[in-house]
Structure 1
Amino acid sequence: MKLSPLNVLALLILAILAGSIGAVATNHWLNEESDRAGLHAFVHEELQLTAEQDARLEALEAQFAIEKRHLELSLQAANAGLAAAMDDEHRYGPKVGTAIDAVHERMGDLQKATVRHVFDMRALLNARQQEAFDRQVGSALTSEPRE
């Protein structure tokens, strides 16, 4: 079957959109940037950290930034694999299904790392701070999604 330039363009746009879904869904579901930045600000500004806690938190943040970047690049590569599979098969075939599974696995890796990071942050806090932190995390995870 010969594809017209319009069909090729439509498929390319579809592949790009599908490849971006994983990253967009992750950002939306976790409210990743704003909530983690908000959580980080909450911890620093509202919990009255000691100098030692503050230094340890900064070290955790630096370590997580590296891990997060690695995971984001892995997710980006999985999205590129999905786009390539869609371009190759032009249908929901076995390559596309496998590529979708790879995207979901990378999204899960990023989510698990983020949750581990939240617990690592919590471990630095005293009991009073942990109570406030837990309320903030619970609120962030159960609030209505932002548009």
Structure 2
Amino acid sequence: MPSTSSGNRNRFGILAGVLVTLILLCFAVSAITSQWMMHNDDWNHHDLEHGHKWLHHELNLTETEASAIDAFEPAYREQRAAMLEEFQAKIENLRQQLVAHDQFSPEVEHAIHELHQIHGQLQELSIRHYYQMMSVLPPEKQEILKELAGQALSVPE
């Protein structure tokens, strides 16, 4: 017959193992989600490292069209970089909340809400930029851009 203290140690060991497993699972899910959202190659080619050149190629832009788009590109890139930095901070905050709380808490809910807010702001920025580009393109290139935008929106974010 096992002693009470060894039974308590076994229960504690099992509980500790389950807790460590849950924490590791939270980290894994958070890391995978972050990587997928930020580095999905199909998500938005225009925002990738050489995406500006990719878009110029896809739209077969003339010098005049390229210059018109290039006029507002730096401001967009600057705003987007700042928002992505904030987005990463919100992901990190959510990661910390998942580790700190054993249950769905108001803090976890708030962290999720903040992450959704900045994500929405990033989407709005991209859509406003889309309309900026549309405003300087001729109708036939607007149609190509609409098709590209439709493809980008079909990928879950």
Same structural fold, with TM-score higher than 0.5 when normalized by the shorter chain: yes
Match of 2:33 in 1: 21
Looking at both structures, which has the greater relative contact order when contacts are Cα pairs under 8 Å and sequence separation is at least 6? 1
How far apart are residue 25 of structure 1 and its match?
4.0
Aligned with residue 105 of structure 1, among 111, 114, 117:
117
**Equivalents in 2 of 1:100, 1:47: separation in Å?**
37
**Equivalents in 2 of 1:39, 1:128: separation in Å?**
21
Number of equivalences:
141
Structure 1's unaligned 5+ residue stretches are none
Change (3 A) 1:35 1:46: closer
Aligned with residue 121 of structure 1, among 121, 133, 137:
133
Structure 2's unaligned 5+ residue stretches are 1-11
Identity %: 22
Match of 1:11 in 2: 23
Paired amino acid for 2:149: V
Cα contact 2:80–2:125 (8 A) shared by 1:
yes
Cα contact 2:90–2:115 (8 A) shared by 1:
yes
Q: Which has the larger radius of gyration?
A: 2
Moved more, 128-137 or 65-74: 128-137
Q: CA RMSD in A?
A: 3.2
TM-score of the two chains, using structure 2 as the length reference? 0.69
TM-score of the two chains, using structure 1 as the length reference? 0.73
Measured against aligned partners, the alpha-carbon deviations of 1:97-137 in whole angstroms (never above 9, x if no partner) come to: 11111111111111111111111111111223223322332
